[in-house]
Amino acid sequence: MLIYFYLEYLRYSNVYKQVTSKLKQNPMKKYLILFLISITSYSYSQETFSFVSKVHPEKKYSLQMDVSSITETTINGKTTKSESISRVTRVTNTEKADKNGQFPAIMNFGGVIVTGAGKEVLSPLSKTIIKGLLSEDNKFDIDTIINPNLDQQTKNALKSAFKNLKPDIDFPQKPLKINDSFEYKIPMNIPINGEQIKAVITKTFTLKSVLNNIAEFTVSEIISLNMESKNVIASGNGNGVVEFNISENQIIKDKSHFIIDITIKKENINVRGLVTSDTEKLLRIQ
C-alpha cells in the first residue's frame, strides 16, 4: 500500500518526469515497479469488511419508511385496480449503558398513514410510545406501551414484534470483499381473491463499494411459489440498493422495487394478480 501512494505522489510531482526517464533507460526497473503496483492493487481489492448490526447507547435513530403498491386483479377477463401508499415514521432515543450493557430506550411513533381508494387513514399505532431496556445485540425488553387507542392484545402483539430490533437483512458472519454476494430468503403471504398465496423472495446482495464507512450493495430479487399447488403459478423479480453504515452498525438506506405475477385456476374461475411494489427505508443517526 505504501508503494502505491508513493507512486501516486511521484505521478504529480516533478520527480515523476525524472523517474519516467530513468525507467525508459532501464526497462527491467519499469517491469518491477509495475509488478509491485499490481500486487498492491490486488491486495487492496482483497480488503474485507464485516457487517454486524447493533444498536448503540446515547444515540438518536430516526426512521422513515414509505411503501407504495399497485394491485391489478383480473377475474375471467375483468380487471380491477387498487393502489395504496403508507408512511411510517419512528424515532428511537437510547441512553447511557449500565454495567450489564443495557440502556434505557424510548421509541416514539409519529404518524402512521395509509392512503388508498382516495382516502387517507391514520393508523391507531400513530403516536405510540414504547419504553424499555435495549442491548447492543438488538434485544428490546419492553416494559411500557403508551397509547389509549390500543387494547391489551394489540400491545402484546407490539411487544412480540419489537422484542428484537434486528434488521430484515441477515448479513453473513464472514467478512465480505468488494463484489462478494450472499443470498437471503423472505417468506411472504399474498392475499389474492380470498386465497392466501405463499411465496418466497430470494434476494441476492452484492457488495459494490465502501466509501467513508458507507457500504453500498446492489440487490436483485426473484419471487417464486412457496407451496405445492397445481392451480397456482407465481413468478416475479425486482431490484434495489442497500447502504450500510459500518461504523454505526446500521442499515441507513434500503430501497427496492419488485413485481409479482400470480395466476390461480380453480374450476371455472381464472384469477390473475399483478402486484407492483416500491419500498424505501431511510435511517438518520445522531
CA 103 to CA 107: how far, in whole Å?
13
In contact, 202 and 216? CB cutoff 8 Å:
no
Model's pTM, two decimal places?
Answer: 0.80
Spatial separation of the C-alpha atoms in residues 162 and 139, rounded to whole Å: 9
Q: Where are the domains of the chain?
A: 2-46, 60-285
Q: What is the pLDDT of residues 181-216, one digit of tens each?
A: 999 898 888 877 777 888 899 999 999 999 999 999
For helices 27-45 and 2-11, the axis angle rounded to 10 degrees is 120
Report helix, strand or coil for 96: coil
Locate cell 440487490: which residue?
219
Take residue 152 and report the three cell numbers written for it.
391489551
User: Rg of the Cα trace of the chain?
Assistant: 26
Angle, in degrees to the nearest 10, between helices 27-45 and 15-25:
120
How far apart are the C-alpha atoms of 152 and 140, rounded to whole Å? 19
In the block, cell 409519529 appears at 110
User: Which residues on neighbouring strands pair with residue 260, listed in sequence order?
Assistant: 236, 275
Give the residue from 157, 88, 86, 84 showing the smallest Cα distance to 126: 88
Count of Cβ atoms closer than 10 Å to residue 186 Cβ: 14
Show the beta-strand stretches assigned E in 95-180: 102-116, 119-122, 129-135, 140-146, 176-177
Residue by residue, pLDDT tens for the chain (286 residues) are 333 333 333 333 443 344 445 445 555 544 544 444 444 444 445 699 999 999 999 999 999 999 999 999 999 989 999 999 999 999 999 999 999 899 999 999 999 999 988 888 999 999 999 999 999 889 999 999 999 999 999 999 999 999 998 888 889 999 999 999 999 898 888 877 777 888 899 999 999 999 999 999 999 999 988 888 888 888 999 999 999 999 999 999 999 999 999 998 887 889 999 999 999 999 999 9
**Distance (Å, whole) CA 168 – CA 23:** 54
Q: In this structure, are residues 47 and 271 in contact, taking their beta carbons and an 8 Å threshold?
A: no
Reported as a single tens digit per residue, the pLDDT across 10-58 is 333 443 344 445 445 555 544 544 444 444 444 445 699 999 999 999 9
Find out whether 203 and 186 touch, Cβ atoms under 8 Å: yes
Q: Backbone phi, then psi, for 27, in 5-degree steps? A: -60, -30
The answer to whether the beta carbons of residues 173 and 165 sit under 8 Å apart is no
Q: Is 167 exposed, middle or buried (0-12, 13-18, 19+ CB in 10 A)?
A: middle
